Structure formats: C-alpha cells, structure tokens
Amino acid sequence: MVEFGHLYEKQYAVALFNKVRFDIEGGGGPQPQLLHRKNPLENKSIFSGSLFQYLEENKKWRNRFLFVPDSYNINYYDSKAAHDRRLHPKGTINCAGYKVLTSMEQYMDLFSNSLPGIKAKVGSSPFLKCATQFPLILWHPYARHYYFCVVTENEQQKWLAVLQDCVRHANDGLSEENKVQTPAFTDAVRLYRQAKGHYGTWDMMCGVPSQILSNLVMEDALPELRELISPRLKGKLHERQRNWMLISNAVYSLVQGQCQAQYEAVLQKCEAACSSLEASIRTDMDQIITSKEHVTNKIREVVLPKAEKLLKVSIQPYISSILDALMEPTSRGFSEVRNVFFKELVDMSKNTLNEGTKETVAQHMEKISMLAFHPVKMQSCYEKMEPLSLEGLQQRFDVSSPSVFVQRAQILMREQMDHAVYTFEQILYQSLESQCTEDLCKSVQRCQDRVIKKFDYDSSTVRKRFFPVKEAAVQRRHNLYRDSIVLSNSDPSLHLLGENPSIDWAGEYVGTQEEVDGAEKDSECGGKDEGGAPQKRRRMKQVVSMIQEEGSPVLPESCMEVPRVNDIPEEEEEEEEDGDGKENSDGKGSADQNGSASPRASENPPDLSDVLKEEEAKSEEQGKEEVPQKVESAPKSASIVEEKGKGGDNMPMVEEHLRSDL
C-alpha cells in the first residue's frame, strides 16, 4: 500500500492536470442525443423474495427473506416479517468479485482449485448436500461463499438474473463522473501491476477502491499464504477445503479494513493539496504543455522505429479478428436492447389504440419506466454478450478472460436503455400536457420514432468506447464512424427537459382516477395527519415482483406469487402487536388481500426444517401437482391486474404491470 500510495499521488496530479486542461480547452467526443437520468432508482427497490440458505454454523438449510435495495447489496432476514418490522438484517452481501453458479459441479471445480495439490477423489461427495436440485451459489476467490437453493428451474433462472445483476452493478464501483479520482486510481493500479509484471486485463478490478486494493494485495499474498498454511491443514478433504475458505475470508476481511483506511488517508492527503496544485496548474498551463510536448517528441524519436515494427508484425494483422470477436456479440446486444425497448413501445401503442386515454398510457409508462433495471426483461440483452470468445487473442495480448469486456458492455446496455426510456417519458409527458386525447396514439408514435433515432446514434457512439484507436473501428463491415450519422445539434429544446425529475405516472394520471380507492387504502393503513385527513403512505416501488409468501407448506415459486405488501414501512397497528399476533395478522392479511395464498396454509406455519423434509420426500408429487397450477396462472396476469386495481390492493402500480412479464 505504501508503494501504491506513491503511484496514486503522482497519478492524482496527472488526472487533475488533464481535467483542468479539458475544462479550459473543451473538446471531447460527440454529444449524446438521449437524456441522462440523474437518480434513476430514487425511492425504488430492485427485488425481494424468499429462498433456502445453507447455514454453515449448524450445517442446516433455513428459509431466508432477501431484500435488494437500490444499492444492489443483498440484505437477508430470518423472515419477511423481520424485514417489515425494520429489524437489522442477519447479514449483507456485497457482490463485487462474485460469480453466480447454478450447479454443485461448477462450484466443486472452482472450490477444488483453491488448494492446488489437494484434489478430490473421483466420485467423492461434496461437503454439503443441496436441499433441492436447483442451487444458487455465490463464489468468490477470497471471500466467504453463500449457498442458496430454490424449488423449480423457472424460479432458479429468475433468481439467477437478479443475482447476476447485483454482481454486475457491484463490480462497476468506480464512478465515471469523478474526473480526477477515478482515472488516478485506475492508472495507479495499472502501473502497480505492470511493475509486478502483469500487463494484461485483470478480472478482479471489481467494486469500490478499497475492494480493488484488497484484491490487489490478495493477488500477491494468497500464494504465499497458501504455501504456508496448506501443509498444516488436517482432516478430510472437504474439511481442509472448508477451513482454507474460512482462513482466506478472515485474511481478506483484515486486508480490506487496512486497505480502506490507508486509501482514505492517501486520498485525504491529495485532496488537501488539490487547491494549491490546481492554482499552480492554471498558472503554468502553457509551460507544462510545452514541456510535455518536448519530452514526448524526444521519446518518440527513440521509440517510434521499434514501435512501428512491432505494430506491423504483432498488432495490425490481428486488429480485424479482434474487432470481429468484440463487435459481433456487442452489436447483437445493443440491437436486442433496441428490440426490447421497441417491443414495449409497440405494446403500449396497441393498447392506446384500443383504449385511448391518458390513464392507459400512464399505466404502461409506469411499467416501462424501470425497464433498464428489470434484470429478467434485460436478460435477453445481456445474454447476447455471453458468447464472446477471444480464443487465440488471450495469450497473445494477455487477456485473462472476456469477462472484463462482457460486463462493461452489459453496463453500457443498461445505461443506454435507461437513457432511451427517460428521454421517451419526458417527451411523451410534455406531449400529453399539450395534446388532446384524440391525438394520443399519434403522439406516442411520434415520440417513439424520435427516440429510436437518437438511440441508434448514441448506441453507435457508445460502442466506440471499446475501440479508442479510430483505425480499429473502421475495419471492414463494422465501421462505427460510418454508422454514426452525425445529428446537428439536434434538439436544443429536448436538453432543457434533462433537468426534470423522473415522472410519477401513477401519481400524475392513474391516481386521479383512483382517489376513492386511495382513501380506502389510507384508512386501512391508519395514516392520517394531525388534522385527521387521510394521508397517503409513501411506498418504495419495487422493480421486479418476485416475492414469495411465507407460511405455505411448500416453498412456492417466488417469481409467480406476489404478496399484498412489498415495501417499508409496516403498518403502525401491526408493529405494536407482539410476535405471535404479528404472524397471525400477516397470515390473515395475506390471504384476504392477495387472494393467492395457498388454501392449505395454516395460521401457524410449520417448521421450515419439516417443510424441507417434506419437499425432499415428495418432490415428484409436488412437481406434478403444484408447479403446473402456478404456471397456468401466469398468462392470466393481465386480468389479475384489473381485479387487483378494483379490489384496492396496496401493491404499487409498477409491480402490477411488471408481474405480467415474469
């Protein structure tokens, strides 16, 4: 960390100079056409639901309620009731650096490699037995592993999409908005690794700076630690592997704490000197630029002949293959983003044509507004990048794996989808305010065409980020500069809308049609202000409706069943009741209001260990009887939305609409 600190201080000064120079001279790439939402997940949660978790303390499987807020950190609780009462979670998982595995075979392959020289015998049983056939395992090379499982394959796939989104978001921990700290940090890490002989990509450039630095330390320390401790581990194979994992996690936690403290100290030192350094840079800017160009020219004279020879022999012949390998899946991914967005708008246009009211449009916009953060709907886009293969290039250019490119492209896809959705809703909202109902369908169509054109331009611009060298981006059929048709300062009026907050479609239009229902809901919640007037409860809207009800004898598909309440806070009257009363009131309220609770569920739910035993003993019976019933109910989701809207259900409108696509 001392060595890294010296590198960081130097790179901080370089990054500050580059920022000041950019502020003075301007420049940069083409301006984006789509609007950018500043805080897309404000008052939103991503996901919540129940599944089984393996507890290493007592070596048993227990039911856990998982809640994913806008930070994408996974909080897990003993039950949904514990979450609703705002109790502290049993634990929190930051997914940076993790991989999501869906089979014990995948896990044991990675786990066995953690201790080289100690291999499992063929046919040997793993150290834990999964409670169902559908595991979900969070694996990390240094930190603790987490073991979950669900009942059905369909549920497993949907949980997989959510967990992968958590990993994707957590890995992207360095903000591009910070024009000094982020480039200073990444360049310091690159130079540190190059000093150690590592010139290629790095899979563990994941998370916030303290996590990345911890991975940097563990990359050097772990081999020595393994060599020191491995011979001293005793017991059976799985015991030695498990003990090694516990030791690695303990060391990683200690390293992370020290790295965070030392990084903050270095950063504070740099920021303290920032003002005086910036003043010096502004004063001596011309002299610094002149000196830099002079030194650059001197270096170029010495290096250029050798560099050009190396370029012609070892680089240029492979540029086309590199471009093809990257562009094929990348282009398919962005094309799928466009298709998913376009399909949602076409569906809205069709419904607007049939029911041409602003309330209908608002209901669909409530559904579309969080499309970019819906991991299940975006999964088809992300999957287009998975086939990326860099065979033949990995050794030549020291690319450890394509995961660096895959996750970066997926993050850019999500950003572009959100920009398109936000731009569309701002244009449409402005149009709804000024147009009559008769022109509603035409307005939607005009807004759609306008946004699609801007998306095509921006997606081409974004893909250039993979190819900083222009010569690499104009090869053969993948000419990004040809595809990027420049739009002349297209919409000056549009960019004025970029300062507007996200639109609450349910509150603007749908809510006005449901004032009576809203008053009834408020009276049920007991929410009144000091004057006795009903006061609307603010609910945290959830992007993905995949919550499982507690209290049913068999764990249902959490992706199919949605309870009546999915957010915080819990009602005051229920909070005042004791634990038994809380469980009974939750059970009754769930059956009365949601209407989807199992009729066989008793007021006092059975012990979860008994449930697990029943599930193992009767898995075939339940597979024939329970699952088809739930699957049949999925296509009826549209009618369910209408029934719940009339019945006064407390669920936010965004969940009502999103459920139909799950």
Query: In the 3-class helix/strand/coil scheme, how is 179-224 assigned residue by residue?
Result: CCHHHHHHHHHHHHHHHCCCCCCCCCCCCCHHHHHHHHHHHHHHHH
Q: Which helix (H) or strand (E) holds 62?
A: strand 60-69
The residues with which 100 forms a beta bridge, in sequence order, are: 138
Residue 273 has pLDDT above 70, yes or no: yes
Task: Show the tokens assigned to 132.
Answer: 């169902």
Q: What is the reported pLDDT for 431?
A: 82
pLDDT tens per residue across span 391-423: 766 667 767 778 888 898 999 999 999 999 999
Any domain includes 572 = yes
Residue 389 has pLDDT above 80, yes or no: no
Residues 6+ apart with CB under 8 A from 616: 131, 132
Average pLDDT over residues 586-613: 39
**Rounded Cα gap, residues 323 and 8, in angstroms:** 33
Any domain includes 91 = no
**Owning domain of residue 415:** 319-506
Q: What is the reported pLDDT for 548?
A: 44
Q: Is 332 found in the same domain as 272?
A: no
Across all residues in the chain, what is the average pLDDT? 75
Q: Is 336 found in the same domain as 200?
A: no
- State the pLDDT confidence band at 558, using cuts at 50, 70 and 90: very low
Q: Is 438 found in the same domain as 323?
A: yes
Among the listed residues 83, 4, 90, the one whose alpha carbon sits nearest the alpha carbon of residue 542 = 83
Please give the residue that has the higher pLDDT: either 194 or 535: 194
Residue 463 has pLDDT above 70, yes or no: yes
Q: Is 485 found in the same domain as 342?
A: yes
Q: Is 537 found in the same domain as 494?
A: no
Q: What is the reported pLDDT for 325?
A: 79
**Rounded Cα gap, residues 412 and 414, in angstroms:** 5
**In the listed set 475, 506, 537, which residue is the last one of a domain according to the structure?**
506
Q: Is 529 found in the same domain as 485?
A: no
Among the listed residues 543, 551, 550, 647, the one whose alpha carbon sits nearest the alpha carbon of residue 595 = 647
Place of tokens 């990359």: 219
Residue 620 dihedral angles phi and psi, to the nearest 5°: -70, -40
Q: Is 499 found in the same domain as 571?
A: no
Any domain includes 427 = yes
**Domain total of the chain:** 3
- State the pLDDT confidence band at 81, using cuts at 50, 70 and 90: very high
The residues with which 64 forms a beta bridge, in sequence order, are: 51
Question: CB 109: neighbour CB atoms within 10 A?
Answer: 12
Residue 147 dihedral angles phi and psi, to the nearest 5°: -120, 125
Q: What is the 3 state secondary structure string of 105-171?
A: HHHHHHHHCCCCCCCCCCCCCCCCCCCCCEEEEEECCCCCCEEEEECCHHHHHHHHHHHHHHHHHHH
Q: Is 550 found in the same domain as 449?
A: no
Q: Is 618 found in the same domain as 572?
A: yes
Q: Is 372 found in the same domain as 276?
A: no
**Rounded Cα gap, residues 136 and 102, in angstroms:** 5
Between the CA of residue 217 and those of 2, 229, 643, what are the distances in Å?
12, 18, 57
Any domain includes 13 = yes
Cβ 373 vs Cβ 41: under 8 Å: yes
**In the listed set 476, 506, 536, which residue is the last one of a domain according to the structure?**
506
Any domain includes 494 = yes
DSSP state, residue 485: P
- State the pLDDT confidence band at 359, using cuts at 50, 70 and 90: confident
Compute CA 122 distance to the chain's CA centroid, rounded to the nearest angstrom: 37
**Rounded Cα gap, residues 278 and 281, in angstroms:** 5
Task: Show the tokens assigned to 649.
Answer: 């259900």
Residue 531 has pLDDT above 90, yes or no: no
Any domain includes 314 = no
Place of tokens 């650096």: 97
**Rounded Cα gap, residues 560 and 549, in angstroms:** 10
Q: What is the pTM of this model?
A: 0.74
Q: Is 490 found in the same domain as 375?
A: yes
Any domain includes 235 = yes
Residue 10 has pLDDT above 80, yes or no: yes
**Rounded Cα gap, residues 589 and 644, in angstroms:** 15
| SS3 at position 41 | coil
Place of tokens 């969080």: 370
Any domain includes 552 = yes
Q: Is 521 found in the same domain as 484?
A: no
Task: Show the tokens assigned to 207.
Answer: 């998370």
pLDDT tens per residue across span 149-158: 999 999 999 9
Q: Which amino acid is at 340?
A: V
Q: Which amino acid is at 483?
A: D
Q: Which helix (H) or strand (E) holds 49?
A: strand 44-55
**In the listed set 283, 302, 333, which residue is the last one of a domain according to the structure?**
283
